[in-house]
Structure 1
């Protein structure tokens, strides 16, 4: 499940009250299509008690990816719509792409909206048809943005944002205390743990794509590559009673056995493993060379045996699966 987080709203709707019947149908259709839309009646509780002059200025100037301006004779006469228009145009002046999307009920001239700007004529568009056009515009923009944004992976983001990830099992039960690590291509990383709702949240301050690692002692490892944190993720994991997973940062322990593991990158190509008070493959010499996605057996001093598989290793972060066996 993906959704864009760079703006609070995909689109804001600016209109005169006399045109509300049409606009409300558009807003309802957009909501059904999964588009994040600012429409005043959807925000009644949120707007209650706020300084509307300041709040609406912020909405139309910085919190929406696009604004649809429903132009009519009524629109040009209203104090609030003119306030919204000024905020929109302040934003549009700073943008290198279209931000204001004009939709015309009639040919009323609006200050700052040039006749050469493309618009939608509402005389022959139903609310549902307009909502579909808006959806296409938003979707196309997000696709372009993701492709362009991924090339800017070394740039610092101008505005930090929240990336959220939800983990649940095949029955829809939220998984608490899953370890989540985001690893960037330069091997820097962010760590988090899911809460009782199965959610882990990260503050993203750089424009990078990440490899997402998820582990839990009762669930297998999960690995996603080239994840764009501008889009939240929902992950479903199928439980396996005989296996679990873990994330090792430099060194760490596996819940099923005692002792400590320390995987390392070899100076030449490949990986090697040190294990403290743990026998590798029946007592092979350490460091032991291992390969990704190839199982190795470990036994601790209590006779506990597991089969361990490294799924990912970059920098000092490793993701492993393990299957548990009872002592002989």
Structure 2
């Protein structure tokens, strides 16, 4: 029987020895808003249940797709083979692909033909596999309609407060950190951490965000694909001589006089204007730059800093800086 309203978008079937890789995939899928059956996410549900019957139901009826992580370990496990039999019973009933095999090695699995298309995990990071799974799901029209319906509900949801706690490597609270949430559509929300190391944000439309954190005494920190449904704690580590700054359209960098303005060029590259500041010894402006590559800036007082952009989207940039050391 075809089900258009599955409890899970994907179920992950794997051997415990391969958990480290699979857990990264599960976490990435979860951040993307994909409903994933992964055993450690389900400890409360699994507690006390007849696992033989419950897992049969999951792998046969409750997931849109199953990702089968093939390895030598998988073939030797009792539970994974029970999961496989349940998947194959489902696949037999449907005229579309349901079992999506991915391989750590060339182990043969009963019932999985060598001619079935698979993904070679030796060529894919966990994040890259998660992106492929998301792409596969988006081709399923019932999944697409469900996601659109869910998005519409989220847009109309009541505003709520999302908080980020910032501490250093010694577990000390970090105040006055500049924190920016940047959505995929380049809209953003700004805040600063208070005396308790907390930055609070009013979320009116739930989206996935890139979190940028800057502080004059700490290097830049960024996290991608953060879902604001739960508060988070971030540890930042101090590096002597380094600071970081968020530039919104244009701004100043501590330790040097004058303003800078990063821009995105029409060819998708980046360039930098600087007011009364020489870039790389006097290069013509706007001066091209690349993310994660250092530029030198010198003001009219001879102060020199090295600036490295870590992120730039819309008009929001995140950069590290350090003062030039004289020889």
TM-score bracket, shorter-length normalisation = 0.5 to 0.7
Answer yes or no: is the 8 Å Cα contact 1:215–1:246 preserved in 2: yes
The residue that corresponds to 2:277 in the other structure is 278
TM alignment of 1:76-91, pairs within 5 A: none
TM alignment of 1:133-172, pairs within 5 A: 133=44, 155-172=154-171
The Cα shift of 1:161 comes to 1.2
**Does the residue aligned with 2:202 lie in a helix, a strand or coil?**
strand
Query: Following the alignment from structure 1 to structure 2, what is the Cα–Cα distance between the partners of residues 253 and 167?
Result: 23
Query: Following the alignment from structure 1 to structure 2, what is the Cα–Cα distance between the partners of residues 250 and 308?
Result: 16
The Cα shift of 1:236 comes to 0.7
The residue that corresponds to 2:248 in the other structure is 249
The Cα shift of 1:207 comes to 2.0
**Does the residue aligned with 2:44 lie in a helix, a strand or coil?**
helix
Query: Following the alignment from structure 2 to structure 1, what is the Cα–Cα distance between the partners of residues 177 and 185?
Result: 24
User: What residue ranges of structure 2 are gaps of 5+ in the alignment?
Assistant: 1-41, 49-62, 64-133, 135-142
Query: Following the alignment from structure 1 to structure 2, what is the Cα–Cα distance between the partners of residues 167 and 208?
Result: 21
The residue that corresponds to 1:318 in the other structure is 317
The Cα shift of 1:269 comes to 1.8
| Cα deviations by residue, 1:89-138 (Å, 9 ceiling, x for unpaired) | xxxxxxxxxxxxxxxxxxxxxxxxxxxxxxxxxxxxxxxxxx9636879x
Q: Highest relative contact order (Cα 8 Å, sep 6+), 1 or 2?
A: 1
Q: 1:219 to 1:135 in 2, by over 3 A?
A: farther
**Does the residue aligned with 2:250 lie in a helix, a strand or coil?**
coil
The residue that corresponds to 1:192 in the other structure is 191
| Cα deviations by residue, 1:17-57 (Å, 9 ceiling, x for unpaired) | xxxxxxxxxxxxxxxxxxxxxxxxxxxxxxxxxxxxxxxxx
> TM-score normalized by structure 2?
0.54
1:300 aligns with 2:299: yes
Answer yes or no: is the 8 Å Cα contact 1:220–1:239 preserved in 2: yes
User: What residue ranges of structure 1 are gaps of 5+ in the alignment?
Assistant: 1-130, 138-143
| Cα deviations by residue, 1:273-293 (Å, 9 ceiling, x for unpaired) | 000011000000000011111
Answer yes or no: is the 8 Å Cα contact 1:277–1:301 preserved in 2: yes
**Does the residue aligned with 2:165 lie in a helix, a strand or coil?**
strand
* RMSD (Å) for aligned C-alpha atoms: 2.6
> TM-score normalized by structure 1?
0.54
The Cα shift of 1:325 comes to 2.3
**Does the residue aligned with 2:190 lie in a helix, a strand or coil?**
strand
The residue that corresponds to 1:207 in the other structure is 206
Answer yes or no: is the 8 Å Cα contact 1:150–1:208 preserved in 2: no
**Does the residue aligned with 1:133 lie in a helix, a strand or coil?**
helix
Q: 1:150 to 1:264 in 2, by over 3 A?
A: farther
Q: 1:280 to 1:167 in 2, by over 3 A?
A: same
Answer yes or no: is the 8 Å Cα contact 1:153–1:206 preserved in 2: no
Query: Following the alignment from structure 1 to structure 2, what is the Cα–Cα distance between the partners of residues 170 and 199?
Result: 16
Q: 1:161 to 1:311 in 2, by over 3 A?
A: same
Q: 1:234 to 1:250 in 2, by over 3 A?
A: same
Query: Following the alignment from structure 1 to structure 2, what is the Cα–Cα distance between the partners of residues 298 and 150?
Result: 46
TM alignment of 1:18-57, pairs within 5 A: none
